[in-house]
A = this chain, B = another copy of it.
Amino acid sequence: MASESEAQRALQYEQTLMYGRYTQDLGTFAKDEAARLRLQEGDTPRPRRPSELLEYSQGRCAPCRVCALQCQRFLISKVGEDWVFLILLGLVMALVSWAMDFAIATCLQAQKWMYGGLDTNVLLQYMAWVTYPTVLITFSAGFTQILAPQAVGSGIPEMKTILRGVVLKEYLTLKTFVAKVIGLTCALGSGMPLGKEGPFVHIASMCAALLSRFLSLFGGFYENEARNIEMLAAACAVGVGCCFAAPIGGVLFSIEVTSTFFAVRNYWRGFFAATFSAFIFRVLAVWNKDEETITALFKTRFRLDFPFDLQELPAFAVIGIASGFGGALFVYLNRKIVQFMRRQKTINRFLMKKRLLFPALVTLIISTLTFPPGFGQFMAGQLTQKDTLVTLFDNQTWAKQGINDEFEYLGILEAWRHPRSNVFVTLVVFILMKFWMSALATTIPVPCGAFMPVFVIGAAFGRLVGESMAAWFPDGIHTDSNIYRIVPGGYAVVGAAALSGAVTHTVSTAVIVFELTGQISHILPVMIAVILANAVAQSLQPSLYDSIIRIKKLPYLPELGWGHHEKYNVRVEDIMVRDIRYVTLNCKYRDLQQVLHSTKMKNLPLVESAESMILLGSIERAQVGALLSSQLSPQRRLMTLRQKVLSEDGHRLSDSSIRFQISTETSSGTPARPALRKPLKPALKRVPSSPPDSPPAGSTDHAGIALKSLFCANATEPTEAHATAYHKAKRVRISIVEEMILGDKMTPAEILEWEEQQLDQLVDFSSAKIDPAPFQLVEHTSLHKTHTIFSLLGLDHAFVTSIGRLVGMVSLKELRKAIEGSLTGKGVKVRPPLASFRDSTASATEADTTALRQLWDRHQHHHMPREAGPGGDEDDDTPKGE
């Protein structure tokens, strides 16, 4: 136990250095790390030992068994390789995807069958049409609510946060996996305008997490955190890839949506797994005789020789710009619905009580409106999402092009025709209705995404523009020699890519569209539309996923805007918190108490002294609390009491009893104080340095000695003593506990007095875990660079130093505020107050000397408070932040 916790402490440094983990997760993380360590160390010698023994002991069977063991070891080592993991992941996800698709198709088929079978009575038909999805959605909502509420929603925002290094609780467990898979199947089977892309990213990530935990039974390779993050990134690609059978688009989309900085060395992982997954997914369809060979999911058959005319490009650009506005509106609408539901307290309270009422209600409304004999006839209500997409990408032109060629609506295309109106009206109604329906439906607390609904709306919008163009130019625009008619299906493809790109703020929807349709002939129109849509949408609204991140208040750093020149002017010194609480090396326990009371920072800087302010490291808040509580713990009090009694009795303390005391303290996590440790030393190792009898209560101790004793604390501690002490600890602890129950004979007043006395002692940091290299910035670092470093390293906070001296701190909060503050207002960038102040003084003086003066002003500004109050502790009373 003792050695394990020591190992945990030692290992945590390296991890906290790189990823801004949240404090509550450190415990579990430390356990994982220790487990990894044990496995690693346990693994290397363990398989060796039996085989070595075998070779020396037995005679006959030995070679066989040695060989078998070696084979086993070889297999185990292979299991640890990346590609095995990726193939397994791809395989599992392809199976999951295919099975889910099959189940969803069956569900939808059942609804159609029910609806078709009851065509004698419209009321019965309506009941069936409405009840079926309501039941499914309600079940899905209830099931996920009961089993794992984390499964609700898309999952991409959460994965984005997890890939940044934050550990979200319960997000990658088996329970959530089951809830998400079943919930999603039911939700999509209901025929509501919901998507499966986002949830698939989440499902694939859970699959990867579970798989890595399963495979780690065979070897210890899967316990490394950095590697797990890499695998999760690959899993996200697999999720998108096997959802659309689009490996390249999947990889790119997952990168755009989940990463800020992407390691190119992980690139192949995503491609490998996504390709394998997409391959298996499509092969399953071939084996199931759905398809003759592997082709695209929504194959189009546009002509290749003349896909579009150069003069059609303005129309494509219009689609792009309109989609940009539409995408921003969708995100806005989605957020407003959520916020409205939250703000309305009466509705909210009612819905909280009847949690399943809201999903049921929404489903009821939407399915009523899409009821084919009712309003649904004006919006192709009987088509499923997949059928809608197939019809929209259709190669033919729906609108009347001349008088003589009346187009025949065949098969499922029938749904778009209405005897009393034309196809334009149907398309417009479809777009308008589906727009708010999708925005509303995606707020239902079931596992669902918004990509596919938006994709369908975009395709419909593109089709609308395409049909209009076809009606406007019946013989095409290009009239040189051949007649090339306009292909409205191509417009639908462009619209789908543009709108989904605008909502998600991604460019890779273009690639997804090519892979979905199996044609790349419209590459330039698609790229132009997607880029324009992105430009418009990004300047108006955050992406849907960022919007959800903000709504859910996940710990994430917003992106810098497109045109971010202003960012270069803002510096860390403008946004940093200057009045930070710190722990000095020679402080007393009372100071620790004060610091804990006065600040809520999760990490406290450890400085050499209040005068020098040299930053030595950072210490976690929990650690400071542990130091304090161990100093004031009943065990220690009891110990002191006992010691006092013993010394009053005139007995000399025996060596062994002191050893008991130390071991007890170590096992219960309290720091072993040097003064108590003293009698041990000569028995084990003679260390000439380190003052032999420095009383820790000395008031103004020399910083150098304290520092040195801190640095040497672990070195002078002998290993053997610890090992033996550990074994004795168990026995002793029992007796201590007994004693505690029997006799804590101090009165409250005495306890208070004792605690006050204890608080005046100097803190002994030797047992605390100190991050020896917290991330440091300097005052001049620009906001842009700070943002880059924070996103690159996944930092949570950074200290601002000036030649080793601590001058301030920047955390995610300040950074977020600075970025959002300078992005609020439409287009008008508000600068942080200090930045504008600096500029105004700069313009007042001469240009030549300004830079220097700024530098000096800044220095004076910083030095003032320190010089005014040399004590350094008293002038920091202002609270940390708002």
Contacts and interface: CB of A to CB of B under 8 A. Distances in A.
B518 A521 contact: yes
Contacts of A299: 304
B265 A264 contact: no
A3 interface: yes
B527 A802 contact: no
Contacts of A286: 310
A659 interface: no
Kindly list the 7 A-B residue pairs having the minimum CB-CB distance in the complex, ordered from nearest: A7-B851, A616-B804, A45-B843, A773-B776, A3-B852, A715-B863, A772-B803
Contacts of A119: none
A719 B857 contact: yes
A549 to B, nearest CB: 15
A825 B644 CA distance: 66
A692 B862 CA distance: 21
B293 A307 contact: yes
Contacts of A528: 275, 279
A8 B23 CA distance: 40
A535 B308 CA distance: 39
Given A309-B293, A614-B608, A13 B780 contact: yes
Contacts of A264: 255-256, 259-262
Interface string A28-50: 00000010011011101100100
Interface string A769-805: 0101100111011101100110011000000011111
Interface stretch (A411-419, A432-440, A560-568): A560-568
A295 interface: yes
Interface in A1-24: 2-4, 6-7, 10-11, 13-14, 17-18
Interface stretch (A401-409, A445-453, A706-714): A706-714
A26 to B, nearest CB: 16
A70 interface: no
Given A248-B523, A793-B789, A849 B261 contact: no
Contacts of A259: 264
Contacts of A804: 608, 614-617, 772
26 contacts: A13-B778, A17-B785, A37-B851, A41-B847, A41-B851, A42-B847, A82-B563, A224-B568, A261-B263, A261-B264, A262-B264, A265-B560, A275-B524, A279-B524, A283-B310, A292-B306, A294-B310, A518-B520, A616-B803, A687-B867, A717-B856, A719-B857, A722-B856, A723-B849, A723-B853, A773-B777
A478 interface: yes
A515 interface: yes
Interface stretch (A266-274, A462-470, A595-603, A742-750): A266-274
Given A310-B293, A704-B612, A863-B711, A689 B870 contact: yes
Contact of A520 (B262, B519, B562, B859): B519
Give the copy number: 2
A44 B840 CA distance: 10
A559 interface: yes
A106 interface: no
Contacts of A862: 715
A803 B301 CA distance: 66
A534 interface: yes
A80 interface: yes
A629 to B, nearest CB: 23
A455 interface: no
Interface string A535-566: 10000000000000000000000011011010
A793 to B, nearest CB: 7
A170 to B, nearest CB: 27
Contacts of A307: 293, 295
Given A261-B264, A867-B687, A293 B306 contact: yes
Interface in A319-360: none
